[in-house]
Structure 1
Amino acid sequence: MAKRRYELTETRIAKLQKEGRGEGIGPDYQPWIRIHDFSSNGRVHRRYSQKVRRIVQLLSDIEEDIFLKFDASDLVVDIREQFPLPRADTLRIAELHGTRHPCVKGVVAVMSTDFVIDLPGPRRIAIAVKSGDELAKRRVCEKLDIERSYWLERGHEWHLVVDDAVSHDERLHLQQTAEWASLDLLEGVEGWDGRAQDLMLEIFAAAPRERLLDVLRRVEERCGWEAGDALALAKHLLAIRSLIFIGDGRLDVFGPVEQLDRREASDVLAA
């Protein structure tokens, strides 16, 4: 569990509010909690979001997994992590439920939601991310009930995501795709727009069960590309969602072409 680097006081809360924590949208949003606010023995992550064009603060491996799924979704408009809830509202809900509100040494804490996801419509979904071990604790469940009630009062969906929602292979695929998007795989090579069209035509003209590696090699030979160019381009197209991966787990170049499909709106939020 993360330990606070800064002692929670009313002065500290006022300072964070003055900084604009929990405010803004898109690239201007500032999360209520940042990694440097804690001295943690656990794993934390800072990921660049292709969706909102800023560094996202993630406090656990589970949060990273869920963030990468949302960041890759065509349906998501905005992602806001560590989103603060007004204390007046959470205090009222806690009293209504007969539950103790979270406090630290007598200071009423600001509760937060792990992710707030905006979709077209407008539609908003609040996401709490927990491990199975945490859910075995009564106090954790009491705090989740306050959070859930806050969002339902406002007519928004609230979902609890547990750490087994993302498989090991899917986690690796999501991490790889994020890296392909952040690296300039096409640096120093011209004409990639035309090459992308050639590659897409070759992929979708192939038999569904043909090995993807054979298709990539064939387009390299036919078009006179360097070895590895087709795979680099396929990775890039996956990262920017021009191609979508529909297989189980992660991309397997030795697997069939039918792992890949043309871009279309696909809801990855159900998992």
Structure 2
Amino acid sequence: MPVLKYEQTTKKIAKLIKEGYGQGEGKDYRPFIDTIRVSSRGRVSRIKGYSGRVHHFLSDSETRLFYIYEFAGKEDIREHYPLLEGMEEIIPNLDEELLKRLVNQKTGEPLILTTTFLITEKDEKGELRYFARSVKDYRQLENKQVIERYEIMKKYWEGRGVDYGIITNKEIPLMVAKNIEFIHPFFHLEEYGIGDEMQVFLKNRLVNMIGNSETRQINEILSMFDSEFNIEQGTGIAIYKHLLSRKILSVNMNEAISFNQPCNSVQILTKAEVGDNASNYKYVNQI
């Protein structure tokens, strides 16, 4: 849903802005649309990101693209970003049909458009740059109103020097997103009661076991790992997922993650290799 439509009035918009919605950066950002205040035709999700902030999504496609952007290491992911600051600069350049998309035709009250994602990333020189993306079901691109709203957003972001585009559900690599969803909750091991010192020890041991096991299956090594340290069954799986989410270990993310794979199908990454790991989840830098 790229437009906030529920009983929108000038008074309510002012209240949301005063309360900080659509403002801030990083863990302090508050999306202009959240799953508590807004209903959706799609499946809503609230996902705790790596920064600790809870992100709000109104469809599976939004959620899946978030997983891909977060795993790719983007500096900041701001969802449902409102087109507020600088909007007055493009209004004089909009024709009558486009201006209609900024007003509720029944009540005459303003409508605030939102872009699904405003992404902050670092370029090769370490400098920050931004791009914005709207997510939509491909079938809705035939809707005139949808196209006109996106035309407004394109003008808005072009005026701010920010690359803008539309991503449909067909362009999101489903397997990659599902794999990231599978390992995403294990980014922070301390949430599973494993302290920092123990984490270092256990992670190093599991990496060594996998690296020295060649054709033995992953599930066999994880079972041996739990038995060796007499720890709760499943701890090895949690640490393995953590190592994947942290890109200490790497597998082909374009195929379903399997514990039946041989250990020699898992790559142990050096710090230098982590930056080149994009080959394991192709398309990420094109969407």
> Do the two structures share a fold, i.e. TM-score over 0.5?
yes
CA separation of 1:216 and 1:141: change in aligned 2, threshold 3 A: same
In structure 2, the partner of 1:269 is 285
Classify 1:144/1:198 alpha carbon distance in 2 versus 1 (closer, same or farther; 3 Å). Answer: same
Judged with a 3 Å threshold, the aligned counterparts in structure 2 of structure 1 residues 217 and 132 are, in CA distance, closer, same or farther, namely same
1:172-215 Cα offsets, whole Å, 9 max, x none, are 322222233367575368723112112112323443x6532344
Count of aligned pairs: 266
3-state SS in 1 of match to 2:146: helix
Partner of 1:204: 211
Instruction: Give yes or no for contact 2:98–2:148 (8 Å, CA) kept in 1.
Output: yes
Checking the alignment, whether the CA contact within 8 Å between 2:4 and 2:33 is kept in structure 1 is no
Structure 1 counterpart SS, 2:36: helix
* SS, match of residue 116 in structure 1: strand
How far off is 1:123 after superposition? 0.8
Percent pairwise identity: 25
Q: 2:75 aligns with which of 57, 61, 77?
A: 77
Query: Relative to structure 1, is the Cα distance of residues 40 and 229 closer, same or farther in structure 2, using a 3 angstrom cutoff?
Result: closer
CA contact (8 A) 2:189 2:199 kept: no
1:149 aligns with 2:132: no
Paired residue for 2:23? 23
- Alpha-carbon distance in 1 for matches of 2:6, 2:138: 28
Give me the whole-angstrom Cα distance separating, in 2, the residues matched to 1:107 and 1:90.
19
Aligned amino acid, residue 209 of structure 2: E
Structure 1 residue 45: Cα displacement: 1.1
**Separation (CA, whole Å) in 1 of partners of 2:93 and 2:217:** 56
Deviation per residue, 1:22-41 (Å, 9 max, x gap): 11111111111122222334
Determine helix, strand or coil for the equivalent of 2:256: coil
Instruction: Give the structure 1 partner of residue 8 of structure 2.
Output: 8
Paired residues for 1:74-223 under 5 Å = 74=73, 76-86=74-84, 87-95=87-95, 99-102=98-101, 103-104=103-104, 105=106, 106-120=108-122, 121-181=127-187, 186-187=192-193, 191-207=198-214, 211-217=217-223, 219=225, 223=228
Contact 2:2 2:114 (8 Å CA) reproduced: no
| 1:231 partner amino acid | I
In structure 2, stretches of 5+ residues that fail to align are 279-283
Q: Distance in 2 between matches of 1:251 and 1:229?
A: 17
SS of 1:37's equivalent in the other structure is coil
Task: Give the TM-score normalised by the residue count of structure 1.
Answer: 0.84
> CA separation in 2, counterparts of 1:125 and 1:15?
28
Runs of 4+ in 1 over 6 A off after TM superposition: 1-5
1:80 and 1:117 in contact (8 A); partners too: yes
CA distance in 1, matches of 2:132, 2:111: 19
- Residue 56 (structure 2) aligns with: 57
Given that residues 3 and 114 in structure 2 are in contact (C-alpha distance below 8 angstroms), is that contact kept between their aligned partners in structure 1? no
Deviation at 1:3, TM superposition (A): 10
Distance change >3 Å, CA 3–CA 30, structure 1 → 2:
closer
Cα separation, 1, equivalents of 2:266 and 2:131: 29
Q: Which amino acid aligns with 1:13?
A: I
